[in-house]
Amino acid sequence: MAESSRKGFAHVPERISGLVDLAYNLWWSWNPAVKMVFKQLNPIAWSESVHNPVRMLHELPEETLIAASKNSLYLRHYDIVMSRFRHELETRDSWFAARTSFDRNLTIAYFSAEYGLQHSLPFYAGGLGFLAGDHLKESSDLGLPLVAVGFMYSEGYLHQHIGADGWQENIRELLNRDAAPIKRVMYNHDNQLVAKIPFIDPPIYVAVWRVDVGNIPLILLDTDIKENDPSNRLISYRLYTGDNELRLRQEIVLGIGGSYVLDVLGIRPSIVHLNEGHPAFALLERIREQVAEKVSFEEASKRVRDTTLFTTHTPVPAGHDKFPHVLMDKYFNHYYPLLGIDRSTFLQMGHSPTDQQGLFNMTAFALKMSAFRNGVSKKHGEVARAMWRPLWPDLPEDKVPITHITNGVHVPTWLDPKMELLLNQYFSPSCPRWLDHHDSPLIWEMISEVPDEELWLVHAQLKRKLVNRIREFKRRKWVGEGADPVNVITGGSLLDPSALTIGFARRFSTYKRADLIFYDIERLRKIVNNRWKPVQFVFAGKAHPADDEGKRLIQKVYKYAHQQDFGGRIAFVEDYGEQMAQYLVHGVDIWLNNPVPPMEACGTSGMKASLNGVLHMSIPDGWWIEGYNGTNGWSFGNNFSGNPQDRDRHDAMQLYDLLEHEVVPLYYTVSDDGLPHMWVKKMKEAIRTTAHQFSSRRMLKDYVRMGYGPALEAAALYPKK
C-alpha cells in the first residue's frame, strides 16, 4: 500500500526525522515513554497541540527541532524510542505467532462504524467505538494479522456546548486532515486512491485513507470528495445520522465499499469480524466475489458463514438498523442478481420474525450469516439469546447459538502513567515485564506490596489534576470567550479536590438514567452539603443530536448544577471525549453506573476506572455482574421485583442508603496517619480483581480461542483467492 509522501515536514532535521513516522503511528499514544519524546521538544507546544504530534511537528519552529537534533540527552532518548518502535513493527515473535500453527498468510478483516483511538481522531460516539479502538491496539500488541475498516468522518460526532438554558448545542468543527495522524492511500505517486462502490446505483465514490495503530492498518473510507454529488458527500460526513436512507447508504459504503477497497488493495481476508450490524453488507460483497468466480450462491454463502464472526452490542431495540424493502430495492436492484438469487431470497436474508413485514434487519441478517455470534457480557449473552430466539424457533433458549465474550479495556491506554510508575516500583522486582503479562491474575496479587500511603498519594494527585483541569478549562472560557459566570460555576470551577468525588460520564441515553441521583432532591442535598463530609458529582456526556429525551436529561442535570444551594458541588463538564475520559476515570473516587437493567450490554468505562483504583458503584448489569465480588466496589438496585415504573424509586433509595451509611463514612474515616486505610484497601481489591479479567488482552485471547481460531481453520479448507 503506497502512502502519501507527507508534505510539510521539510523543517524536521534528518537526524530526528523518525519523529514523523512516530507521529503517524498511534503506537506512541499507549506508550508513556514515547509520548515524552514529543513533549520534551516543547511542553507548551505539546499542550497547545492538544497532544497531537502531527500538528505539533507542523507548528514547531525549525530552531527548536535543530536544537533537539543537537542535544545529546534528547538524542539518547530518541534513539531508544526509535529502536523500540522499529522492533515493534518488525517483530515476528508475537503471542499470536507463537500459538498459531498456520503457516500461510492469514488476514482477519475487522469492520466497525466507529473507532475511539485518540482524541485527535473524532471517529467515535461512545463505548462501541472505544471497544473497537482497544481491539485494534490489543491486536497490535498480540501480533494478530488484523486489518480494520471504518469511516473518515469529516465532522466526527458532535462538539457539545451547553447553552444558558441547559440545552445541548452542536458546534460544528471540521477535522483538519493535514493535522491529524491519517495518511492518504495513493494509487500512483500523485493521486489518492478513489474507488467506485461496485454495482450500486446511483454510483458512490470513496477516497481511501489509512491510520496506523501499531502494526494494525485501519483503512478509512471518505465520500466527502469532489467525485461525488452533494448528497453522496454527506455519507461519511458524520456518525449515525437520523436519516434512514442516508444511514442505509453509509452501511452500503462501509460493508460493500469496505470489502471492495480491501480487494483493490490486494488484501484478501481469510475471515471477517463484524463489530455490530452496521457493516453486515460486507457479507454480500464476499458472496458476490465468489459467485462471480462461478461458485454457487449456496456454497458461497456457506463459505462466508463459516468464516464470519458477528458481535452484537445492544439490547436496546432502536440500536438495530432496519431498512424498508422499498429502500433496499432502490439500492440493490442491480446487485442481488449478481448473487445468483431472486429478490425474495435476497430480502429473506434480512427478515426477522421479531419485525413487521417488509423490513431488512441488519442484526438478523448478520446473525443468520455468521457461524460465530456473541454478546459482550455473560448477562448480555443470555439477553441476546432470548431476544433472537425467534430466529431459531426449534431450539430451546439456552441452545440459541449466540455465546458471549465479555468486553475488556486496553490496559496500557487506560492505566494512568503515574499509577503505572508506582506499580512498576513494586511489581518489576519480581516480574520486570509485568505489563506484558497483565492478563495474568498473579501479577495483580503484588498490589498488596504497594504501601497504602503511596497509592493514596498518587490517587490524590490524579484527583487534583482532574479538578485543576476542569477549573482551567472554565477559566479560559471565562477569560477568552467571556463565558457567563454561571456557566463557569456549573462547569465545575468550585470543585474541591479534597471532597469525595463521584463521576458519571457516558452517552446521555435514557436507559442510562443520568438523573437517578436527583430522585429525592432533599436527601441528595443533605448528602452533598454535609459540612464535614461533602460529596461532589461530576457529570459529562453527549446526547445523540436527534435524541431530545437525552438532551432533556442533560438539561435536568445542568439545572441542578445551577442551583445555588448545591454550592457548585454538582458540575457538568462539556464536550466529553477521550481526553476528559482519561482525566475522569483516573481522578474521581467513585464511578457511578445506574442503567435500567438489562439494557447495559456490558459497559466499559467502569473497567477503566477500576483499573486505576476508582471504585465502581453500579447496578448489577453488564460486566459488573461478573466483576463485583462483594468487596471491590458496590452494587445497588438489587432484588427488584416490582412494576418497572417503580424501579427508579427502588434503585435511588438503595443508592442513598449506600452513600449515607457506608460510602461516605468509609471515605472520611482516616487513621492517625491521615489515611483512609479501609478505602485504600478497597481500591487495591478493585485493581487486584478487575485489571486482568476486564482487559482487552483477556478479551482478544478469548476471541482467538473461541472465534478467530475455529474460523481460520474453516478458512483453511476453502480455496484462497
Ligand X SMILES: *Cc1c(COP(=O)(O)O)cnc(C)c1O
**Given the rule CB under 6 A, which residues bind ligand X?**
126-127, 130, 506, 576-578, 581, 603-606, 608
Structure-derived torsion over alpha carbons of residues 189, 192, 198, 203, reported in degrees to the nearest 10: -130
Q: Fill in the DSSP letter of residue 194.
A: E
The residue among 352 and 582 lying less far from ligand X, judged by its C-beta, is: 582
Nearest residue (CB) to ligand X, 18 versus 577: 577
436 vs 575, which CB is nearer to ligand X? 575
Residue among 46 and 576 whose Cβ is closer to ligand X: 576
Q: How far is the CB of 606 from ligand X (least distance, A)?
A: 6
**CB closer to ligand X out of 118 and 259:** 118
Closest contact distance (angstroms) between CB of 191 and ligand X is 36
Q: Which amino acid is at 545?
A: P
Q: Could you please report the per-residue DSSP string of 48-86?
A: HTTS-HHHHHHHS-HHHHHHHHT-HHHHHHHHHHHHHHH
Tell me whether residue 374 or residue 605 sits nearer to ligand X (CB atom): 605
Nearer to ligand X, 375 or 603 (CB): 603
**Structural element, H or E, at residue 298:** helix 297-306
CB of 491 vs ligand X, minimal distance in Å: 18
CA angle 156-541-410, nearest 5°? 75
Nearest distance in Å: CB 610, ligand X: 11
In angstroms, the first-to-last Cα distance of the chain is 19
528 — phi, psi (to 5°)?
-65, -45
**Which residue, 120, 109, 151, is CA-closest to 253?**
151
C-beta of 257 vs 597, nearer to ligand X: 597
Q: Residue 547 CB, nearest distance to ligand X (Å)?
A: 15
Output phi, psi for 69, to 5 deg. Answer: -70, -5
Peptide bond into 202 cis (omega under 30): yes
> 667 CB contacts (<8 Å, ≥6 apart)?
500, 533, 589, 676, 679
Query: Whose CA is closest to 210, among 156, 261, 141, 166?
Result: 261
Shorter beta-carbon distance to ligand X: residue 106 or 584: 584
**Residue 286: Cβ within 10 Å count:** 25
State the helix-helix crossing angle for 521-528 and 647-658, rounded to 10 degrees.
20
Closer to ligand X by Cβ: residue 536 or 604: 604
Minimum Å gap between C-beta 503 and ligand X is 11
Q: Could you tell me whether strands 146-151 and 108-111 are parallel, antiparallel, or unpaired per DSSP bridges?
A: parallel
Give least dist CB 622 to ligand X, A. 8
Q: How far is the CB of 430 from ligand X (least distance, A)?
A: 31
Pure H helices in 389-532: 411-414, 417-427, 441-445, 452-481, 485-488, 521-528
Instruction: Report in angstroms how near the CB of residue 582 gets to ligand X at its nearest.
Output: 8
Listed in sequence order, the residues at least 6 apart from 206 whose beta carbon sits closer than 8 Å to its beta carbon are 194, 195, 197, 221, 222, 223, 225, 236, 253, 257, 261
CA 38 to chain centre: 25
Smallest separation (angstroms) from ligand X to the CB of 379: 14
Closer by beta carbon to ligand X, 85 or else 624: 624
CB contact set of 161 (below 8 Å; sequence gap of 6+): 168, 169, 170, 171, 574, 575
User: Residue 184 phi/psi, 5° resolution?
Assistant: -75, 140
Shortest distance in whole angstroms from residue 594 CB to ligand X: 11
